[in-house]
Amino acid sequence: MKLKGYVHYVGVNDRNKHRFEGLWALPSGVSYNAYLIADEQVALVDTVDAAFLSEFLDKIDALGVDRVDYLVINHMEPDHSGSIAQVRQRFPDIRVVGNAKTLEMLRGFYGEAALSDNYLQVGEGDVLKLGHHELHFHLVPMLHWPETMVSYDTTERILFSGDAFGCFGALNGAVLDTQMDTTPYWPEMERYYASILGKYAAPVQTALRKLSALPIDMICSTHGPMWTAEAGRAIETYRRLSAGETEPGVVVCYGSMYGNTQRVAEAVAEGAAEAGVRTIRMHNLVEAHTSFVLADIFRYRGLAVGAPTYNGGLFPPVEHLMHDLGERHVKGRKLVCFGGFTWAGQAAKKLQAHHAKMGLDLVADPMEWKQGASADVLERGRALGHLLGKAVLAEQ
């Protein structure tokens, strides 16, 4: 598919994988995007997962090129680098283009044969002239690996952005945003960011400042649509998420063994609604996929977390969520915690300890109760939710 100038899309769709990185749910699949610039010098920008090598090479062959001069590697994660060794076999004279850390990883993942001695090491601001097109390279470490870089085509003002500005979801026929309904992809971009890049707010901000000087007409990520008309929205989404900006809403996350914690969670939600909060998201952590929970927490200002005590600690699904939150940039959220127990209360204490590490804004002391969710306990839950709702709405 021709995109612009001599730039063509040669990516593939994976509709079979259930978990991205073995972790994150893929209900709509994912694309692995790669690009071919058929200029005087032919350049391939990134490759695809090795499982799709045959389809990938067929797409390159369909463009009628009899050689590929350069392979530009923006990111070494195996869903993009997995076909490099086979591409070198198919085009034995191809020259690998990457920065110092890229080349080191290439050796580490695929051995010396994948690199050989035919490579071009590039750094910040270096230029590769292909003829009509000219690629400028910019290092953006920790978006989201240390070797990550972007390639900017000054001729057509295209940013080949690696994983940045990408999203979950396979492409359904069209690849350009102007030729599709992009509505499903925006929440998937936020879910992708929260899951994959949520830890790296500071590097994202650094990269956005660096790239702000570039006039960008098209963003070609390694996942999801090619952003043209909505390129500005993609950049703004990353700015907003990395800055920690939130909307007035409450996310109630809980784990429950026998229903008591769930009943309190429902009461907390009722209290937040009574306070005037219109957007409330409920997540039963026993059933919920973590990436959807994280995406909601990144979007909304209020967070309520509840769990029973389990083996002297937190109920494991809740412990898992708190660990994931502790590794991500979620400061500034309004937080309430609630925890039940049968004979030795620990859940509320453990939740408060997690809060102390994350630096969230604890609206009230953790709520704790013993054994069943009595009418009094539920009323306390509603009061807790009401306090959270008022705190969330006070910052509008």
Please indicate, yes or no, whether residues 200 and 156 belong to a single structural domain of this protein: yes
Q: What is the pLDDT of residues 246-304, one digit of tens each?
A: 999 999 999 999 999 999 999 999 999 999 999 999 999 999 999 999 999 999 999 99
What pLDDT does 115 receive? 66
261 shares a domain with 232: no
Give the sheet arrangement for strand 95-98, strand by strand: 2-4, 7-9, 35-38, 42-45, 70-72, 95-98, 119-121
Long-range CB pairs of 93-96 (<8 Å, 24+ gap) are 93/67, 93/69, 93/118, 94/44, 94/67, 94/68, 94/69, 94/70, 94/118, 95/69, 95/70, 95/71, 95/119, 95/120, 96/70, 96/71, 96/120
pLDDT (tens digit per residue) in 25-46: 999 999 999 999 999 999 999 9
Question: Residue 358 — pLDDT band, cuts 50, 70, 90?
Answer: confident
Of 178, 209, 243, the domain-final residue: 243
> Same domain for 232 and 275?
no
Residue 371 shares a structural domain with residue 229: no
- How many other CB atoms are found less than 10 A from the CB of residue 125? 9
Q: What is the pLDDT of residues 2-27, one digit of tens each?
A: 999 999 999 999 999 999 999 999 99
Q: Which residues contact 227 (CB under 8 A, 6 or more apart)?
A: 165, 177, 218, 219, 221, 233, 234
Looking at the structure, do residues 204 and 141 belong to the same domain, yes or no?
Answer: yes
Which of 243, 273, 297 is where one domain is finished? 243
Residues 54 and 186 in one domain: yes
Q: How confident is the model at residue 311 (pLDDT cuts 50, 70, 90)?
A: very high
pTM: 0.94
- Residue 355 domain boundaries: 251-391
Q: What is the CATH number of the domain that holds 325?
A: 3.40.50.360
The CA distance from 323 to 341, in Å, is 21
* CATH number for position 176: 3.60.15.10
Look-up of token digits 């998201």: 281
Asked, for residue 396, whether it belongs to a domain, the answer is no
Burial of 5 (0-12, 13-18, 19+ CB in 10 A): middle
Q: How confident is the model at residue 390 (pLDDT cuts 50, 70, 90)?
A: very high
User: Can you state the percent helix, strand and coil of the chain, rounding each to 5?
Assistant: 35, 25, 35
**156 Cβ partners below 8 Å, 6+ apart?**
4, 5, 7, 133, 217, 218
Return the pLDDT at 31: 98
Three-state SS for 232? Answer: helix
Q: pLDDT at residue 332 above 90?
A: no
Confidence band for 355, pLDDT divided at 50, 70 and 90: confident
Rounded to whole angstroms, how far apart are CA atoms 190 and 218? 19
8 Å CB contact between 332 and 383: no
Joined tokens for residue 197:
């890049």
Contact assessment for residue 318 and residue 219, using Cβ atoms and an 8 Å cutoff: no
Instruction: Name the band, by pLDDT with cuts 50, 70 and 90, for residue 110.
Output: confident
- Contact between 242 and 288 under an 8 Å Cβ cutoff? The reply is no
If we measure between CA atoms, which residue out of 153, 283, 309, 167 comes closest to residue 218?
153
Rounded Cα gap, residues 148 and 66, in angstroms: 29
Of 188, 216, 243, at which residue does a domain stop? 243
On the question of pLDDT at 114 being above 90, the answer is no
pLDDT at 263: 98
